[in-house]
Amino acid sequence: MNTHYFIALPIQQHLRKTLEEIQMKSRLALFKHIVYPEDFHITVAFLGGADERQLAVLHEGLLKAAESMQPFTLEVEGLNYFGSKVRPRVLYADVKRSDQLDKLHEEIVRICQVAGFSQKESEYSPHVTLAKKWHDPTKEIKPNWPTLNCERQVVSSVNLYQVAPDETPRYKGVATYEFTTK
């Protein structure tokens, strides 16, 4: 299998702890994969497989972009799902969109395209996955997810991750690109 990469915002310890508590209060046994708290992140762009040239171009682009970015605060509030309400494919914590987050996403998509990565033209849906892959299609749940009140975190960097599917945690940080603080 080809090594896959993605670009994401890391989750700070205080938010990671809150999301882990939400996982423990939720009925997640019917999901095949419960996300390990060290793997929590907010995906900005999925890259898939990459060669050395693509990674070098990406690295240079991310360095320049980080120099022009300022830290910003994002908000995570509420739980949501992709797929059926009674058999969700993904359970996630909802990340509120903001101008700064949208600007970061647009810039990173542009950098990925310059580096030769195909980026799908779909609406950006920032979130933190808590569980995925419904386990038993014959079973349904009555969703009664715990409440996730508004949590804030400062975003001061973006990371390049490598996927290691047979390891725990399964996402390995390859590089961190710190934003400029003025």
Q: What is the pTM of this model?
A: 0.92
Between CA 76 and CA 96 the distance in angstroms is 6
pLDDT at 67 over 60: yes
Q: What would the mean pLDDT of 15-36 be, rounded to a whole number?
A: 90
Residue 109 gets which letter from DSSP? Answer: H
The residues annotated as belonging to the active site are 41, 127
Domain of residue 162 covers 4-178
pLDDT at 143 over 90: no
- Cα distance from N-terminal residue to C-terminal residue, the chain: 43
- Report the DSSP beta bridge partners of residue 8: 43, 159
- Structurally, the chain folds into a number of domains equal to 1
pLDDT at 156 over 60: yes
Q: What would the mean pLDDT of 91-105 be, rounded to a whole number?
A: 95
Q: What is the CATH number of the domain that holds 142?
A: 3.90.1140.10
* 26 close to 80: Cβ distance less than 8 angstroms: no
For 50-64, 116-130, 165-179, which range has the lowest pLDDT when averaged over its residues?
A: 116-130
Q: Who wins on pLDDT, 139 or 71?
A: 71
